[in-house]
Each structure stands twice: as C-alpha cells, then as structure tokens.
Amino acid sequence: MVEKVLRGDTNAFSAIIKATEGLVAQIVFRMIANEEERKDIAQDVYMKAFNKLGGFKFQSKLSTWIGQIAYNACLSYLEKKRLVLPGNSHREDDTMEEGLEALSSKTDYALNSEPEKLISQKELSAIMQSAIEKLSPVYKTMITLYHHEDLSYEEISQITQLPAGTVKSYLFRARKSLKESILAKYKKDEL
C-alpha cells in the first residue's frame, strides 16, 4: 500500500485511512476534548502521514506509525494549550491493579446471568466510561489503546515513544485512579 501511495495512487491512501481511522479516532477522541479540534487534528494526522510516508521505514506496522503521528499531534496540541500532560498530578502509590479486573469479572458474570444482571452490566459499563472520561488525556489514551484496541505494551510504546516500563506504569496508575474514583463515588457493595 505504501509503495502504491508513493507512486501516486490516492485510492491506496484512502485504504490506509480506512484501515487506521479507528485507532486514530480512539487516540484523538481520548486526548482532545474539543470536538472541532478533534476533526482538525485527525485531518492533520493524515496530512502528516501522507507527507511523511516516504520516510516510513517498515520497522513497525503502518498503523502503529500512524498512531504515533496521532499521539504526537495530540501532545503538541495539549502542550500548545498548556493542558494536562503525561505524569502531571498523578500519585505514584503502587498498591493495587485490581480495579478494572474486579469490574471486568463482574461484567463477565453479568453477561452470563439473567436479564436483570444485563441491566447491571450496562450500568457498570456506564460507570466505567464516566470514570475513564475523568482521567488525564494520556491515561485515557493508555487505557483505550490497551483495553479497547488490544495493543501490546510494545505497540503502545512505539506509538507514544515512551519506554515499555513507563507505559506499564501509566496503565497501572490509570487503573488505580479509576478504582479510586469509582470507589469514592460508589460504595463497594453497590458495585
């Protein structure tokens, strides 16, 4: 596909966009709150990808490379607007990683139970989404890439240009923050 685009085949680039638009949307929509800015940034991502395609070295998946462009475009926007950046205002207490796993196991149980339990699963999903939206842009992105896009630590590391250990640490802190946020709002027995 890359070679076709470099030879001038714009349909090939359209295919690249279709193959990667979900990943780009996840990154941009999790990091950028303003809807108009999201559209501009997503468009800018593909303009940069098109213009830099000749420099793609085939050392990673094309989707990972485009994800990296999206992540960097979002960081640039956040830096320009002086919004929350990685590592700002997050405590480094390393005690629990159970938040998502506990909620996930309850979700699995709800899916295998009677109709009333399905309602509980939907409520739990809404609670999780609300808590995720309150995370910093970088933490939201980490959670999304790992849990929704099923990317590995290494792929997230390539996209964000952060060491895999930092990615793991950010994911740990994001999960911990989610757990604390949910437990602060709801009593344990309500979940």
Q: What is the pLDDT of residues 115-133, one digit of tens each?
A: 555 556 677 777 788 888 8
The CATH architecture annotation of domain 2-81 reads: Orthogonal Bundle (1.10)
- Cα dihedral sign for 127, 130, 136, 140? positive
Specify the DSSP class assigned to residue 58: S
pLDDT band for 80, please (50, 70, 90 cuts): confident
Say what the pLDDT of residue 118 is: 53
The fold for domain 99-190 equals: Arc Repressor Mutant, subunit A (1.10.10)
And the tokens for 170? 């950010």
And the tokens for 59? 């050392």
Angle at 158 between CA 155 and CA 161, to 5 degrees: 140
Candidate ranges 8-17, 93-102, 113-122, 171-180; pick with highest mean pLDDT: 171-180
Per-domain boundaries in the chain? 2-81, 99-190
Cα(70)–Cα(73) distance, integer angstroms: 5
Please tell me the least confidently modeled range out of 52-61, 67-76, 85-94, 150-159.
85-94
Residue 55 has pLDDT above 70, yes or no: yes
Q: What is the mean pLDDT of residues 76-82?
A: 81
Say what the pLDDT of residue 48 is: 93
Chain mean position to CA 42: 14
Cα(185)–Cα(165) distance, integer angstroms: 30
Q: What is the mean pLDDT of residues 57-79?
A: 87
